[in-house]
Amino acid sequence: MRFDTLAVHGGERVPGPSGSVVFPIFQGTVFTSEPGESYHDIKYHRLNSTPTQTYLHDKLAALEGAEAAVATSSGMAAVTTILHTLLGKGDHLLVSDVLYGGTHDFVTAHAERLGWEYSTIDPQDPSSWAVRDNTRAVLVETITNPLMRVARLREVVEFARSNGIVSVVDNTFASPVNFRPAVAGFDLVFNSATKYLNGHSDLVAGSVAGSSALVEQVRHTLNLYGGSLDPHAGFLLARSLKTLGVRVRQQNSNALAVAAFLASSPKIAAVNYAGLPDHPDHGHARDLLAGYGGMLSFRLTGGVEAAETLLAALTLPAVAPSLGGVETLITRPAVTSHAGMSAEDRAAVGITDDLIRLSVGIEDAGDLLADFAQALDKV
């Protein structure tokens, strides 16, 4: 089955409970056990084993093209549970030098306390990557925030395999519509399902997928740390997954149209979108990705003042952080997602104060372009 068919039919129980075509929410926390069942067979929300949860896990695994998947209470629960599963005292982790702020803060603030060592790598430069005797895993992101750099993903898989370490990727910005890491050979893929997987900006969740053996290890850690997904949120997430392909393809094409439109304006100083031929990662992104995603960033020639004027003049995009929903969102990372970094650190990685980040929704592309045209006229 192809992706859109899997999105609708993957993981579905046929026939569903009591003939229901839509898999229901099993709210109860107590299930009778059958003779011969062990502790591992108990159905309990924290053990991630109730019918609403296992249904969602099967759908997620189908979409990822992975043997198994497990849902978590947030994207952060996904990454912290993975790291707690893979790393013990004295182990070493390689991490990308540009990471989502929460992941970055977790590693930098907690690794030492937990007895883990870590070092950063440039995910665009495989020649600089090296393992130590105690390296256990490498963690990268498919598309980075907010400059939309695309990692050398094939090389990460080869590097991990040849060095016997576990490859882990945060695929939140791409979603499995644009890149399927498990199919490309990554050992573990996780998402903030809060973003594209859910796509309606109304729940917080995470997902982890990979081989049955690794996902089972992650699930055991999750069972003990307690970051399970509530069945109501799980139901909403499974419902949203059915339209994932339709939504993300529209976001891909809208984002490409907006990026090209902005790039053609004399009032725009730079556009960061891997779908544009002049993006530094366009070459390998074109080989790796089915689409370049719904996220882009740009700078105006008029600096911060012009950026604020543009944000105020736009009528369709909401000025808000977060991303991946059906509605277009716009934000200035220096005062939102990256406000925690010093201005010097931000400047060093290219996050200037006037940088604007856009999460493109599924609105009509013509309406979005018209809105940007009228707002640019006011700058």
Would you tell me which residues interact with ligand PLP (CB under 6 A)? 74-76, 100, 102, 141, 145, 170, 172-173, 192, 194, 204, 206
* Burial class of 185 by CB neighbour count within 10 A (0 to 12, 13 to 18, 19+): middle
Q: Which is nearer to ligand PLP, 169 or 306 (CB)?
A: 169
Sign of CA dihedral 149, 155, 161, 162: negative
If DSSP codes are grouped into helix, strand and coil, which group holds residue 27?
Answer: coil
Shortest Cβ distance from residue 13 to ligand PLP (Å)? 27
CB of 374 to ligand PLP, least distance (A): 30
CB of 298 to ligand PLP, least distance (A): 19
Question: Which are the contacts of 375, defined by CB distance < 8 A and separation ≥ 6?
Answer: 310, 313, 314, 315
Structure tokens belonging to residue 337: 């997602």
Q: What is the Cα–Cα distance from 300 to 278, expressed in whole angstroms?
A: 17
Spatial CB neighbours of 203, under 8 Å, sequence gap ≥ 6: 194, 233, 236, 237
First CA to last CA distance, the chain: 49
Q: Considering the complex, state which of residue 148 and residue 184 has its C-beta at the smaller distance from ligand PLP.
A: 148
Q: Return the biggest CA–CA distance within the chain.
A: 73
What is the set of active-site residues? 46, 100, 170, 195
Closer CB to ligand PLP, residue 323 or residue 376?
323
Q: Least distance (Å) from ligand PLP to the CB of residue 75?
A: 2
Q: Which is nearer to ligand PLP, 223 or 337 (CB)?
A: 337
Strand ranges for the chain from DSSP E? 68-72, 92-96, 117-121, 135-141, 166-170, 188-192, 206-210, 268-272, 295-300, 318-319, 329-331, 356-359
CB of 342 to ligand PLP, least distance (A): 20
Pick between residue 52 and residue 145 the one whose CB is nearest to ligand PLP: 145
